[in-house]
Structure 1
């Protein structure tokens, strides 16, 4: 059985490596031809994982149509705002499982990645899954123990769960694609908020409060999208949020820290050097607030700070002096 990974970034490459033990061949496609060339010549992704030797059954492929045809299972690990554009000209010749490992909400349409993939590939939803959970790419590719959740049709999902699980990569099963995707997307925004708080030196109390109230915001969004709010207490919600909001490897938290320390947005993104998914996701959440009239105070303050230039200290003060209310 062959696996195809669409997206040779940090996360896509980590998945290719950890899953290479379970597949005869793992094909990896990326728009960056230099990434593919390095994998072909050196068995390394020098751009994202320069110190890791990749398995020899990981094979770069330049033609995305060929890549999707040759894989028995397709994993989409493309930055969320480019998923529709990338898949728009791809034709799936026969129905096969498509697993979204992209975390984000499309800004204009407010669609989740599973919905974007369904529309782009004209595929039955029963073949579309979401992979999410607390999983820093650097630790996954190093073979450190990691647990994630695969959400989708559980009948087909049971077989995928076995195929995708390894000695270091444990896969749990869920039937709530919406909950898994929302949790994996919105946690990046809350992580930016926690980073800003840390950058301002606000301490552990503030970070714990943001994580807890942020989890509540995630549950509200899950409910708005029609998912199960209980999902937020699992790996794709609470697990991923804790990791991203506290871990030193988190790009979103680091982005927030830099903003809290006085960096402007452009310099902070340049300093990180990779896509900060929460930066685009918070724009989608701002559109959601306008369209659905849903109250997301933390997410709204992150938007005001990174898109409207609101002073982070003032944003924190505005959160603290809001009208008092019951916790739930």
Structure 2
């Protein structure tokens, strides 16, 4: 059996551990809290993935050195803002040839970096020879129940993406590969902003037409920013782009959508986050994307209005009116021929 270390013990980390264990891998999760590790060792993560009986090949512990000892692959299943610190403390205990798999969907707030860039800044450029990101439309609640799901593994070295494909792929969990690390990372992170915005529109009581418009135009601005940063346009038509956008903007499993709904219904930002009771990646990502758009000279109107709601006190209803009142645009020309603000 291949030993896989899972850094993190939340819902997504636990669901992926279940996938790996069903593929005859031995998975050890690292948890901060002893009581959570004990719960997992008893066969269920009642806090984050209740009601799902865990595979006997899943264990958990709180000692990083023990969890990482001789692990062939290390999966980081923690929120993006905790990635750098956990990478630093984990690295001394990792095998020098261990494959690093990141499943977080976010950007680093302080540096505006993608998480692969964070990894390079800590471990050096050569780490990209064994770094893979796993992304796509995949709610932990459904993956844990073996509901058919398709995701994408992206890496600079395609052999590494294929390794992760083999590690995770099963009859219920289909994994594609993609060499566009930049596009897959950005697609997974930026869709959370659009899910927040779409949730706000839902909370205001708007309909399916509004949601469709937000998602479609949201994809256009994600693509503009991604292209300006070196991503392949086609990636955004795939699982990490439109696929993840659809599921995050339409499902009540989505933390970002639920948070947006609460904001649209009148809750404060703090109150909306508290009602979700989990990390809402899209809030930090909105701040980062707002700065990246200015840096790249890219027009991102939905991101801009969402930023103003979250950080400048703009009312959600005024934000929607601002979006609807923008000047006339040519849709096809904007997507295909330009990526800079006019």
* Contact 1:193–1:298 (Cα < 8 Å) also in 2: yes
Q: Secondary structure at the match of 2:107?
A: coil
Deviates more, 1:12-21 or 1:108-117: 108-117
Q: Secondary structure at the match of 2:89?
A: coil
* Contact 1:75–1:100 (Cα < 8 Å) also in 2: yes
Answering whether residue 144 of structure 2 is matched by residue 141 of structure 1, we say yes
* Contact 2:293–2:300 (Cα < 8 Å) also in 1: yes
One of 174, 199, 204 as aligned partner of 2:203: 199
* Contact 1:19–1:166 (Cα < 8 Å) also in 2: no
Q: Secondary structure at the match of 1:147?
A: strand
Answering whether residue 127 of structure 2 is matched by residue 124 of structure 1, we say yes
Answering whether residue 233 of structure 2 is matched by residue 223 of structure 1, we say no
Q: Residues of 2 paired with 1:53 and 1:205: CA distance?
A: 40
* Contact 2:119–2:127 (Cα < 8 Å) also in 1: no
Which sections of structure 2, spanning at least 5 residues, go unmatched?
A: 335-342
Q: Secondary structure at the match of 2:45?
A: coil
Counterparts in 2 of 1:66 and 1:226: CA distance versus 1, 3 Å: farther
- 4+ residue runs of structure 1 moved beyond 4 angstroms? none
RMSD: 1.3
Q: Deviations over 1:185-227 (max 9, x none)?
A: 0001000111011111111111101100100111112112211
Structure 2 matches for 1:72-91, cutoff 5 A? 72-90=72-90, 91=92
Structure 2 matches for 1:123-272, cutoff 5 A? 123-152=126-155, 153-272=157-276
Q: Residues of 1 paired with 2:203 and 2:145: CA distance?
A: 29
One of 305, 308, 314 as aligned partner of 2:309: 305
Size of the aligned set, in residue pairs, is 327
Partner of 2:40: 39
Partner of 1:324: 328
Q: Deviations over 1:141-181 (max 9, x none)?
A: 01100000000121232233122101210100110111111
Answering whether residue 70 of structure 2 is matched by residue 66 of structure 1, we say no
Counterparts in 2 of 1:28 and 1:312: CA distance versus 1, 3 Å: same
Counterparts in 2 of 1:69 and 1:222: CA distance versus 1, 3 Å: farther
Answering whether residue 279 of structure 2 is matched by residue 287 of structure 1, we say no
TM-score w.r.t. the length of structure 2 is: 0.92
One of 92, 95, 119 as aligned partner of 1:93: 95
Deviation at residue 64 of structure 1 after TM alignment? 1.9
Deviates more, 1:53-62 or 1:150-159: 150-159
* Contact 2:109–2:287 (Cα < 8 Å) also in 1: yes
Q: Residues of 2 paired with 1:278 and 1:303: CA distance?
A: 10
Deviation at residue 53 of structure 1 after TM alignment? 1.4
TM-score w.r.t. the length of structure 1 is: 0.96
Q: Residues of 2 paired with 1:206 and 1:321: CA distance?
A: 14
Answering whether residue 104 of structure 2 is matched by residue 102 of structure 1, we say yes
Deviation at residue 276 of structure 1 after TM alignment? 0.6
Q: Secondary structure at the match of 1:131?
A: strand
Q: Secondary structure at the match of 1:125?
A: helix
